[in-house]
Amino acid sequence: MTEARDVLRTQLGLKFGEVPDWVETQLMQADHEQLQQWMREVLFADHLDTMFTR
């Protein structure tokens, strides 16, 4: 699962810039299925808020 988390963190950083702490918290708490879903969603999201709920 660490690999999926790292891939998603990289995708988010490339698309949105530095990953804020509140998103990092979400990444650390997510299971593999959720990480996979976010990896698909990042392709179409315009803002971090559209992917994550604080």
Phi, psi of 24 (to 5 degrees): -60, -40
- Count each helix (H run) and each strand (E run) in the chain, helices first: 4, 0
Decide: helix, strand or coil at residue 16. Answer: helix
Provide the pLDDT for residue 54: 54
What is residue 2's predicted lDDT score, i.e. its pLDDT? 87
Q: Which two tokens stand for residue 27?
A: 């990444």
Whether the pLDDT of residue 1 is over 80: the answer is no
Alpha-carbon distance values, 42 to 32, 37 (Å): 15, 9
> What are the φ/ψ torsions at residue 47 (nearest 5 degrees)?
-145, 155
Q: Which pLDDT belongs to residue 18?
A: 94
What is the reported pTM? 0.88
The string of pLDDT tens digits covering residues 7-22 is 999 999 999 999 999 9
